[in-house]
Structure 1
């Protein structure tokens, strides 16, 4: 894995990564319907959870574009420890969008300079509803500060042009015409595509996403010819067609649905056992994933598979990787990479 550079005077920052047609996110978004007979599929950013092993797992199950977790620009450009812990990648991790939480042009340009050699695009987080982030002018605060947001988009596009893609992931305003105006301004600023989460900053995730709002916004910016991705309530493959057909979006971004079932875009109604084996492989292959994070990924997937409750509780009481691997071997027929039928099983292969 590449080591993230610093901005000290004695280090030369590598040039932006060369984007090809095969890895260009914008090209993929615009052509997926023609090349694959379906809209584009995207794994959205999840705080802590969109790390390299999980991104690689999603790619194995018909996910076209994958996002990193949100990275705070201010911390990343100033703190070497943040760079080490927040972002790791490799040559196979593409197309990759690195999402950033940022509230000023200077930090954004420094951040982009540091990650551009290792990704295919940068996404500005304009949707995080956490109060602490909003107080800092990050996340949802940006949809109420369109001038700053558009300045940031213009700054990146002015420096990198089509060598790096720039996206904004927004929530909707209480007054939808405000969102329409924001999207039109973003298009004029040069944004490559817009992702719209169909909830306001105050809407709970337990409430349905507002697909009517996404449809209305798309209809009112269609003349700008900028793709829109719909986000919210995608939990199975049929939702991809349902959401895009109704809203006119170019594709769908899934987040919570993929956390429970990384294979949802491949047509699996619940997480298949093969996902568990492959996830284990990528965790051990890449290393560096905190134990509690691995445990939570496994919990989300196994819970969606209706693993017996006593076993879920037993697993969550384990304290380290050695005991967790031993538990899997004791409880299931657990195949490793290279063994026959590795990663192919659907049902849970209980030993007892």
Structure 2
């Protein structure tokens, strides 16, 4: 190909590269804002089934949105007011126990040795502790602890700043969620107008399937978390597990993570039941047996019924989507990745495959 004006071609190419760099930089700078918007859209789609249900009962759109938002905020506030004092008290007890374990170093080590000897009679406890001591000496662990101690003040400031930023972000997400929930129909109509009229009906059908699937997925995942949290609170209280309220909150939040959340939260709870001085091997064993049974019930009975109206996603796709979303956006990415994968599957099954079959 003959280039008639090398200077103009180079100028246009340079401007194109510069424009691309500027767009990428702008997206990077606006990543936090885009994350807020994506989170609010995700939550608004999750609340939309409740709003639609209230609309079918005769309420106008504004009243349905207001009732849903007030109910959700009221439930969240009630849970915080009820659980927060208990959780705060039990976290203080947990910190006190850990502090006592650290301060009473020699006695703690001896107590741990006695417990391991009693629990695992065939284990060479002295060899295990000798290996750990040699590893700590080789890694110069004491110097690292001193370095960490010197940065405690800076770490407190960082945590405080992160807490304020998180509160501000939560407020922004709340405002955007209310706005998106109230204006979902108008937003949908605005998007639908961009599609040619010949394809608009099909596009609306697929888009409604995607939004309904995302909404039912969000509500279903929250329902699974509530069920796990309540049952964990009851059962852990029965077996006398330590820090019941804290562990129930852990069970709830981990259940929000698809696929591996319940397993990870169960492992954390079982390990917490093994803390010397507050837990016991018997309590941990009882908790482990319960969560093994509960995970089977959740996988084969509870989740299929709750998620029956959401799009089913193959297990391999769930794993890949959760890992990819977690790597890109952390915990939020892992939560959003499953409905995104479900949306892609809907497009694949109802758009791509029919087109390929027509050719």
TM bracket, shorter-chain basis: under 0.3
Higher relative contact order (CA closer than 8 Å, sequence separation 6+) = 2
Q: TM-score, normalised by structure 1?
A: 0.21
Which structure features the higher share of helix residues? 2
Which structure features the higher share of strand residues? 1
